[in-house]
Structure 1
Amino acid sequence: MLAFIGGTGLTRMDNLRITGSQTLSTRFGEPSAPVVEGRLNGREVLFLARHGDPHVLLPHQVNYRANMVALKDAGASAIVAVNAVGGITDKAPTGALVLADQIIDYTHGRDMTLFDDPEEPLVHVDFSWPFDAALRAALKERLTVSGLAWTDGGCYGATQGPRLETAAEILRMERDGCDVVGMTGMPEAVLARELDIPYAMLSLVVNPGAGKSDREITMAEIEAVIHDGMAGVCRVLADLAEHW
């Protein structure tokens, strides 16, 4: 079953009928919110509000391990993660969607693996290509016919948050090869790999990265882009569900 991780706004899609929810507990604790079940364009789907419902959890406070295990327990066979990002390079103008194919992790202190029980075997997963190729290809097909501005490929830089980055940090990330910057991509992506669940990320660019414009970044401007851009994201996800 296809699952979506993002904000609570994802459950207000057109043609979505909510059919139930599961309040799940895992050995890693409680997920951010109940797993919502629905039918989208006639297909069964799952939703999880990454930051809680209502939105109360900062990026470093999210129990990523519990979230991913809860989705698997609920029947997720593939996961599309939606997130808001800052744009660093010309590949990521404000308002566009980015279908990243690489990731660099700058976070710290987060629980990064499901395999930390000394009583269980240690597992090293291959993470050379962090996003599932087949799921990315399916998203590319839907984005191609969407009429939206989008970029195929790019590197997502995952930072700790909750503060935004300094201009010097963005310059460093650009030198490292990052095209966008966000706070939720890790450890979410690697946990999906450890669970052997196909995972891809669809990022909405909501502001230029620090130092990439001559104006201060304001939350009001970010929220306005999110409001406008999420309508397009929802259309793409609904189309994906229909064709998955």
Structure 2
Amino acid sequence: MSKAAILGGTGIYNLPGIEIDEVRVTNEYGEAVYYQGKGDYADIIFMTRHGVDHTTPPHRVNYRANMKALKDAGVKRIMATYAVGSITAKYQVMELAIMRDFLDFTNGREFSFFDTIERGIGHVEMSIPYCPVMSAKAIELADKHNIRVNDGATYVATNGPRFESPAEIKMYQMLGGDVVGMTGCPEVYLAGELGMVMGAVALPINLAAGLEEKITIHEGNIDEVRENMVRLMLDVLKSTTDDACEAPILL
């Protein structure tokens, strides 16, 4: 049976109201932990990239081990969430941004499964990095889950764990970036290399450096928004099918 996964970021450490069992696996890239849903959610897997205690910083996440673990568990579709800083006025704090494209400024990370001759040569096609079917469904279902959404975001991936400088943010704005985070890459193209389809939403929790006197993390009703966001992603996965979502091409 194929499965679908929710990949959670900062602040997303469980699936509200859903029973899950912890699963620890070791593959050729290292150890990974995920949580298997039970009952009506037996086809759902949950993974939190930083760990349930948020002990793994963005530049230390074992992205390859995580993606391989999801693939080996039978996952075909992933809904991923990212806590981000907003760069442009369209993407307001505490309003969900539907990710459509990315700019990758990370470095020093293991960013491909095709890193030896033994594994062959593979070039994953990234013209449409995020699944348009799941993206459209997230927009359609947002009101049902009391979530405000803004479509069309370009995600800027930086290395972290430091925040960006005001000059860097200006550069990202000039290049067309909308939100900035530290974990979106290499996740999206690693998933593509393994034939998994990814939809992604970003939750701006602050304005980026230089847009206010100093970075201030929004607190307000953040827990409620995050819970609604997780329920929305679950609904998206339950309302779409593997056949409707086309995996990236591997050339």
Alpha-carbon distance between aligned partners in 2 of 1:200 and 1:110, rounded to the nearest angstrom: 22
Alpha-carbon distance between aligned partners in 2 of 1:241 and 1:10, rounded to the nearest angstrom: 18
Contact 1:35–1:48 (8 Å) recurs in 2: yes
Alpha-carbon distance between aligned partners in 1 of 2:161 and 2:218, rounded to the nearest angstrom: 15
Equivalent residue number for residue 131 of structure 1? 130
Equivalent residue number for residue 118 of structure 1? 117
The CA RMSD measured in Å over matched residues stands at: 1.9
Structure 1 residue 225: Cα displacement: 5.9
Equivalent residue number for residue 77 of structure 1? 76
Change (3 A) 1:162 1:222: farther
Equivalent residue number for residue 21 of structure 1? 22
Give the residue type in structure 2 aligned to 1:30.
E
Structure 1 residue 200: Cα displacement: 1.3
Partner secondary structure for residue 14 of structure 2: helix
- Within 5 Å, give how 1:34-49 maps onto structure 2: 34-39=33-38, 42=41, 44-49=43-48
Equivalent residue number for residue 166 of structure 2? 167
Change (3 A) 1:36 1:179: same
Give the residue type in structure 2 aligned to 1:160.
N
Equivalent residue number for residue 180 of structure 1? 179
Give the residue type in structure 2 aligned to 1:216.
K
Q: 1:230 is matched with which residue: 222, 226, 232?
A: 226
Alpha-carbon distance between aligned partners in 2 of 1:168 and 1:225, rounded to the nearest angstrom: 30
Structure 1 residue 152: Cα displacement: 1.1
Calculate the TM-score normalised by the size of structure 2.
Answer: 0.88
Segments of structure 1 that go 5 or more residues without pairing to the other structure are none
What number of residue pairs does the alignment pair up? 237
Q: Alpha-carbon deviations, 1:147-199, whole Å to 9, x = none?
A: 32111111000001001111111000000000000000000000011011000
Segments of structure 2 that go 5 or more residues without pairing to the other structure are 241-251
Alpha-carbon distance between aligned partners in 1 of 2:81 and 2:136, rounded to the nearest angstrom: 16
Partner secondary structure for residue 25 of structure 1: strand
Change (3 A) 1:230 1:58: same
Alpha-carbon distance between aligned partners in 1 of 2:196 and 2:15, rounded to the nearest angstrom: 25
Partner secondary structure for residue 53 of structure 1: coil
Structure 1 residue 40: Cα displacement: 7.7
